[in-house]
Amino acid sequence: MSPDHPPGLDLDQLRGLLDRERPGLVNGPLTGRLIEGGRSNLTYAVTDGATNWVVRRPPLGHVLATAHDMKREH
C-alpha cells in the first residue's frame, strides 16, 4: 500500500480523532507507514511533516487468547 494508506490504519479517521481530542496538534496532512518486524500488534510511524508519532493497533485478523492485550499496553 502507499504511504498515504498503510494497511490497517485509516489516516482520515486518525486525523479526525486527533483534531477532536487534541485540537491544533496536527499541522498538515498525515502520512504513515507500517513498521515491519513486530509480533501480534501492528505498529505505524505517522507524521504530519513536522511531528512524528507511533501508533499501535491490534492485529487485523483473529487474535489468539495469548496475544498481547492492547488495553493493558495503553
Full pLDDT tens readout for the chain, 74 residues:
455 678 889 999 999 999 999 999 999 999 999 998 867 788 999 999 999 999 998 887 766 666 556 566 55
* Nearest-angstrom CA–CA distance, 23 and 15: 10
The cell for 23 is: 485540537
Distances (CA, A) of 23 to 20, 30, 44, 59, 72: 6, 15, 21, 28, 26
At 40 the pLDDT is: 73
Please report the pLDDT score of residue 59 as a whole number. Answer: 80
What pLDDT score was predicted for residue 30? Answer: 96
Residue 12's SS3 state is helix
